[in-house]
Structure 1
Amino acid sequence: MKKTICFILFLLIPLISLSCENKKEKPIKVKNSKPIYSYEVKLKSEITEIKRFLGKSPKYNSDVVFFLDMKIESGRNRFFVYDLKNNKLLNKGLVGHGSGSETGIRGELKFSNIESSNCSSLGKYAIGYSYSGSFGKAYKLYGLDKTNSNAFNRNIVLHKYVDIPFEEQPYPICNSLGCPMVNEKFFGVLEKLIDSSKKKIILVMYY
């Protein structure tokens, strides 16, 4: 009897093991999964586009460009200073967006080119002359696309603000009235690049 039981177990154990292995090998299907956003892939795409634009517009600085990825939450670094000449990221920091761009859903923004909307506007900007305003030194921005053509008339400028933190935060930072608003220390980094440039630097805001 014992020999019979041992013989049966000898036959069944390999089959059970094989069954378990087959179950482990079956892939788990995840339904309704959203693709993970990659800012690196998007940045690479924007770099390609701006190089094409600068190739046709020699009056702008073709060495350094500022990229603002508004798909990234405001508490995370989304202002990128990029060296086109050497193909490398020089610096990055936080930047506030317009209060009118809030939708009530975290991570989702809306954009407008309309005056008094307090919204950020997507598109390419030429960074113009500096002046002293309510927040100290600031730079006028000229919208180069249909989506931000009213930037100058809307007084959309690049400026610093004391309440913008320097380090990344786990929560959203404060909003502006539509201007790209940065930390004072980070503004100093941008200021050196802008003031030393013989040609206007391009700032690109995308989503």
Structure 2
Amino acid sequence: MKFFYLIFSVILFSSCQNESKKLAGNTVSESEKISEVKKPELDLIKIKKKAEEALAFCKSKKMNTDFCVLIDMSLHSGLSRFIIWDFKEQKISNKYLVGHGCGNNSWSSDESKDNPEFSNKDGSHLSALGKYQLGERGRSDWGIHVKYLMHGLEETNNNALKRFIVFHSWNLMSDKEVYPKGSPEGWGCPTISNNAMRELDPIIQKSKKPLLMWIYN
């Protein structure tokens, strides 16, 4: 009788252990689900509307009507908000991360990843909204040492050249989305990863007409 009681106790103990493991496993699974952050998606309707406006603008200014750059600063900086829009195919041909200005925050931090401020003022260390014409290609001290001058075409960004705001790459920028973290913030220049610039640089150089870069929110 004692023998059977002993066997029953062992079986019961083993069953309890297995059940505990299952419960522990479920608890971990649930906590993982809770910790997951749903990544926002691009607003294609908004992008298409901006692309239509961009095409009309490019036609009126005799700029490149094959493609343009759209940067939606209302998106979190850990998301790919630097968009290459193909006017001919009417679709996104590529997208990348892009950094914005840090303002009074720490340089290279991501403190304003989801709520950046903007300014056209010299010394503000903030990015400026508006349409730009990408200008002369030159040597940069950053990234792959390539930069493009940015000619601000509106009152909101017409100090770009004076502020030394240029388009360049940066070693700290990632090739892939880093959300919920943000991209490192500089002093106002739109910065992309080195590999992204390696892809874009030859395409921009081939452009026979000035290229539009539109930064908006």
CA distance in structure 2 between the partners assigned to 1:76 and 1:101 by the alignment: 22
The answer for the alignment partner of 1:79 in structure 2 is 82
Residue 176 of structure 2 aligns with an amino acid whose one-letter code is E
Q: Is the 8 A contact 1:113 1:119 kept in 2?
A: yes
Q: Percent identity?
A: 32
1:193: Cα distance to partner?
Answer: 1.4
Q: Is the 8 A contact 1:194 1:200 kept in 2?
A: no
Map 1:122-137; keep pairs closer than 5 Å: 122-135=129-142, 136-137=145-146
Equivalent of 1:39, from 33, 36, 43? 43
Change (3 A) 1:66 1:56: same
Q: Is the 8 A contact 1:39 1:69 kept in 2?
A: no
Structure 1 portions without partners, runs of 5+? 1-35
Say how many residue pairs are matched: 171
Structure 2 portions without partners, runs of 5+? 1-39
CA distance in structure 1 between the partners assigned to 2:169 and 2:113 by the alignment: 24
1:40: Cα distance to partner?
Answer: 1.3
CA distance in structure 2 between the partners assigned to 1:182 and 1:191 by the alignment: 12
- Bigger strand fraction: 1
Consecutive aligned runs of 4 or more in structure 1 exceeding 4 Å deviation? 101-106
Question: Which stretch of structure 1 is more off in the superposition, 176-185 or 128-137?
Answer: 128-137
Question: Which stretch of structure 1 is more off in the superposition, 93-102 or 154-163?
Answer: 93-102
CA distance in structure 2 between the partners assigned to 1:38 and 1:133 by the alignment: 31
1:178: Cα distance to partner?
Answer: 0.2
The answer for the alignment partner of 2:72 in structure 1 is 69
1:92: Cα distance to partner?
Answer: 0.3
With the length of structure 2 as denominator, give the TM-score of the two structures.
0.74
CA distance in structure 1 between the partners assigned to 2:42 and 2:94 by the alignment: 18
Map 1:113-192; keep pairs closer than 5 Å: 113-135=120-142, 136-170=145-179, 171-192=181-202
The answer for the alignment partner of 1:54 in structure 2 is 58
